[in-house]
Copies of this chain bind each other. A is one copy, B any other.
Amino acid sequence: MVEIRDLDPSPRLLLGPGPCDAHPRVLRAMATPLLGHLDPEFVRILDETQELLRQVYQTSNPLTFAISGTGTAGMETCIVNLIEAGERMVVCVNGYFGQRMSEIAQRAGANVIVLDRPWGEAFDLNQIRAALERHRPKVLGIVHAETSTGVLQPMMGLGALCREFDALLLVDAVTSLGGVPVAVDAWGADSVYSCTQKGLAAPPGLSPVTFSPRAMETIRRRKTPVQSWYLDVTLLQRYWSAERFYHHTTPISMMYALREALRLVVEEGLEARWVRHRRNHLALKAGLEALGLTYVAKAEHILPVVNAVRIPAGVDDVAVRKRLLGEFGIEIGGGLGEFKGKVWRIGLIGYNSRPGVVLQFLGALERCLAASG
C-alpha cells in the first residue's frame, strides 16, 4: 500500500482556460465551519447569493441560483428542462463547447439542427435568422465565449431575433461571466449557465444559472417530466425560494466560496472589473504579438479572457507547456478538438488578471520559446 502524504501541492499560476487561481478570500471562506442546508443562517446565505448573482448576471429573473455541479451540469440543466423529446433545437457550433451542447441536446431527445461555422469565427445574425426561419426551433443554443477558440460572440439583437420566431435563447456564459459583460435581460436571453472557476475566481464545483419568466412558463407547460431529477428546476425552485423545501444537500462550502467570490465582483464593480480584464488582456496581447504569436480570432471577436494563439511553426507544443509548468509553475491550456497541437489558450481571468502576472508569464514564455526554437 502506497503512503498517502499530506496535501502539499507545488505553487502554481493557473493561466489555462480554467480553473484559474481562486481569490485568497474565497479559499479562506471555504475553511469556514459548516451550517446545515436548512439552517436559517444558511438560508440567508442562499438569499444573498441569489441577489448577488442577479447583479452579476444583470437580470431580474427570480429563478437565478446555482446548480450543484460544474458548468457542464449547468449546460445539461438548461437543455433538459427546456427540451422535451422530439422538439427542435438549433445549436450554433463553432467550437468544442457548441459541439458539447449539441451532444447533450441529442441525449435529451431533441431534434438537433447544427448550425456550423468554422472554428475561430463568430456567427452573424443573418445566418441565425435563416436557420430560425427555416427550422422554427423551440430553442436556439449559442456559446457566448467559446473557450476552445477564444472567440467572443456578439449578442446584441439575438434576443429580439429569437422572439420574432418564438424561440427560447439559451446562452453558454461559462467563460464570460465576471470577465466580460454578460447582460442577460438586455440580451433577451431565456436561460444562461456559467461556472465558478473562471471569471468569478472561485474553485470549480457550482454552476450559476438563470431562467427568464418566459422560460419558466415553458417549463411549467411541459407534458413530460424532466429526465433528470437532480437537475429538475421545478423541484430545485422549491428549495431556492421562500419555501426552502428539501431537494438535495447543497454543497455548503462551495456556496460559501461562490458568495465570497460574488461579493468580490460587486465590491470591485462590474464595469471596473471588465476594464481591468481588458487592460491586462491588451498588455498580454502586445507582449504575445511582440513574441511573434498571432490570435486565432479576428480582431473584433477576440475574447479578452482566454487568449487563443497559434503555436509557431517548429515549436514543440508539449515541451513548451511542460517547461512552463515544471520550471515556472505556470499552467496554460493546449488546444481542444481540431485545435489540438495547433493552439495555446492563455487565460487571464478573475484574480489572475493583474499586470504582474502578465509580466511574469511573458518572461517565462519567452525563455521557453527560446529553449524550444
Chain A: residues with CB nearer than 8 A to chain B? 1-2, 4, 7, 9-12, 14, 16, 18-22, 27-37, 39, 41-42, 45, 48, 51-52, 68-73, 76, 100, 103-104, 107-108, 195, 197, 203-205, 225-230, 246-254, 256-257, 259-260, 263, 266, 325, 331, 336
Interchain CB contact under 8 A, B205 and A256: no
- Contact indicator A31/B34 (Cβ below 8 Å): no
In contact, A71 and B7 (Cβ under 8 angstroms): no
Asked whether B7 lies within 8 Å of A260 as measured between CB atoms, the reply is yes
A291–B293 CA distance with the chains assembled, in angstroms: 75
In contact, B7 and A36 (Cβ under 8 angstroms): no
Asked whether A4 lies within 8 Å of B48 as measured between CB atoms, the reply is yes
B48 touches A36 (CB 8 A): no
A19 pairs with B4, CB closer than 8 A: no
Interface pair B229/A227, CB less than 8 Å apart: no
Contact A39-B331, Cβ < 8 Å, known A27-B32, A249-B18, A251-B254: yes
The distance in angstroms between the C-alpha atoms of A229 and B79, with both chains bound, is: 11
A331 and B36 contact, CB distance less than 8 A: yes
Chain A contact surface mostly: loop
With the chains together, A1 CA to B266 CA distance in Å? Answer: 11
Further contacts, 16 of them, CB under 8 A, given A246-B336, A253-B253: A7-B29, A7-B45, A9-B41, A18-B249, A19-B252, A22-B253, A27-B31, A27-B253, A37-B204, A68-B205, A69-B73, A70-B249, A70-B250, A72-B247, A103-B229, A253-B257
> Which single member of B30, B32, B226 contacts A107 (CB below 8 Å)?
B226
| Given A227-B227, A253-B205, A34 contacting B52 (CB threshold 8 A) | no
Q: Residue A197 contacts which of B52, B71, B204, B249 (CB distance < 8 angstroms)?
A: B249
Among candidates B9, B37, B68, residue contacting A32 with C-beta atoms closer than 8 Å: B9
Chain B residues, CB < 8 A from A22? 33-34, 253
